[in-house]
Structure 1
Amino acid sequence: MDAVEMKRWCNEYQLLSANAIVLSGVSDVTDDVLLAALGTVKAFGKSKIVDKRTDATTKSDFVLVTTSANVTGQTLPDDVGIPGEVGPWPVHVLPVLPKCEKFQAKLLTFLRSEGKSIADVKGLLDPTPLDVNSALVNAISSLVDKCNSSPADTQSYRKLRMFSGVIPTPSGEEEYDAWAEQTTHMLEEWQSGDNVKRQRILESLKGPAADIMRFLRAQNPNATSNDYMQALETAFGTTESSADLLVRFRHKFQSEGEKLSAYLLRLDKLLHCVLRKGGLHELLKEVREEEDMLQSRNDTKNAVMSKAVTSVTKTSPEIKPDHEME
């Protein structure tokens, strides 16, 4: 993936180049493990996975990641991974363009969106020498205004799905877990102020859920978007703690006759509940401890078998040829 494709990918999600990296060659790894590996690089700050695209040549994935830290000018590792476990995956950063090249790139992007070319701009300068200065100034002024306009709040955005909290879930709405998962992800990705995020949450609510927001705003006019989500989690989310959810996760087995795909969907839904309750790091810790215990058992078993074979070899009588036995 070249720099142009990376830049276009960032623009699709309204990401700043200074806060974006791309990993290549990623395969057979979960998002949680990816985030754990990214967390080992302090220069990235807090990382979030934005999107994945498959490389048709290698059949592995490119992963677009947004960082809370500005990676421009920083000394970054050539690759990221967890030594001895996963990776490493090469790290790609968008090159920093000189100011003149940045303006040229913005100018060309704008002209393409308007169905125009550089030749069309030059046409503005052709009529008469007297019109050159005014035409040039007007054209450049208009282009600069377009290029410098902030994309965060003016561009269209993907609206949140509707949620009311009514049971059973009405047609055209989402259950709470599905709505909360999508909303949490979108809030993290939107490059906009918290007031805009709050407004977009309110636009997606109706019925009992909207009533709860009205009560919250009346009690706390300065409530943030995180406060909104926490209030909805308290009202409609599971009342189980992360420890309770982990117990349920450990004892959730595939039912007799249940398709594997349906079983995996049940596990995924429960795992997202664990994530929202903050119990995912505890689950990862238990999994790694179990892996270490199994590895220790295998090492001990192999050592015992090797010792037994050596002992048998030393104590067995030497077999003599037939002519010596006579």
Structure 2
Amino acid sequence: MSLPLIIDCDPGVDDAVMLMMALASDALDVRAITTVAGNVPLRLTSRNARMMCQLMNRGDVPVYAGCPGPILRAPVTAEDFHGESGIAGLDPFEPDMPLEDGHAVTFLVETLKAAAPGEYTLVVTGPMTNIAAALTLDPSIAEGISRLVLMAGADSAGGNITPFSEFNVFADPHAAAIVFRSGIPATVMSLDVTHTVRAELPRIERLKAVPTERAAIMVQLLEAGNELEGRWKEGRKSPMHDPSTVAFLLAPHLFEAKATTVSVVTDEGDRFGQTCLAEAPGGPHDWVTTADADGFFDLIASLMERA
């Protein structure tokens, strides 16, 4: 039986890889994609999500546009790391499928309020603005969520937008604080683990050997990510930030985690947007610490072989 899933994202090169993985898998029942401003402005993240649905022949998956900016802070974007279109490596186009009517936050509230207890898993790979707004409008929707799988935060690895902060949390720390305080069980894919899984050349060569159109698109994305990462990080290869969320759902045995309670610094200053961990047996947040990088890319290859 497929896992009912809602994906909240801000595509983004690595979001695009994540969406390809999720939309290719028979084990995941992607009920909807909601978009938020983050890597690029909302109009582009909403177009890019629909582009990926079309490229994966998944016009059945509705896409709802959400919040165009964070709750309190000034907006930040990351075109330098994702290209002006948001998805470097692909030629942008206007998808055939339209955006759904209505706001993503309204969709989340109505869908989760009508859900059976724990019916949905939510993957969140951008700023948490949509999820925080939905929880603020109706905290009872938490009952419809079995687990959040978040690409968020950093501890031992340090930040990637400031010395202390990871981009998704830094882009809307107040939203992240709301989500972490909600007590909903969450698996957290932070920079601590995503920086250990990179698109090294032998792994891309493995994908080049897969004779499908979707595998070729995946290679384009990974190579574009490597080019962008290399401009800023002295030739290092692109880490698999957002794809780690779907990899965890499909192959949890590839990862190890520790139980924690996560909080977020929302006071202005050097540590604005920092995630702070308190190790707590039985805590609500599973902070992922290690990953099998080769197994991760074997999973991508197997998905693209079937796509």
Please classify the TM superposition score into its range, dividing by the shorter chain length: under 0.3
TM-score, normalising length: structure 1? 0.20
TM-score, normalising length: structure 2? 0.21
More strand by share: 2
